[in-house]
Amino acid sequence: MIGGFLFLVLVVAALALGVAFFLDTLATKTAWKKRALYAAGIGSAIPMLLPVLIVFLENGNDPEIWIVLFALVIIGIVLAATVGFPVAYWFSKRREAARGSLDPAKDFE
């Protein structure tokens, strides 16, 4: 069980990093912090889509399905906040600093 959770964390981190790179190359006009938020959201939503679809298709129109779906959505949000966002933030900040357009006066660190 711990191995599966670590695998999920690594998948979310890898997807967030990949989406951050994808957005960095295609959406260079978008602010780097916004790109990090998008990458974290997409990186955690993709692995959570399969469990949501399985639960929804197995249970049909059962009223108790909404509790499970709500729990899966909360897990996705927690993964985005704790795993996806730090990875995407670090990558986007590094890429923006390498471009030379990062303003140190507006940065919090």
| Residue 37: burial class (beta carbons within 10 Å; 0-12, 13-18, 19+) | middle
pLDDT at position 20 is 92
At residue 108, does pLDDT exceed 60?
no
Could you tell me the pTM of the whole model?
A: 0.80
pLDDT at position 60 is 75
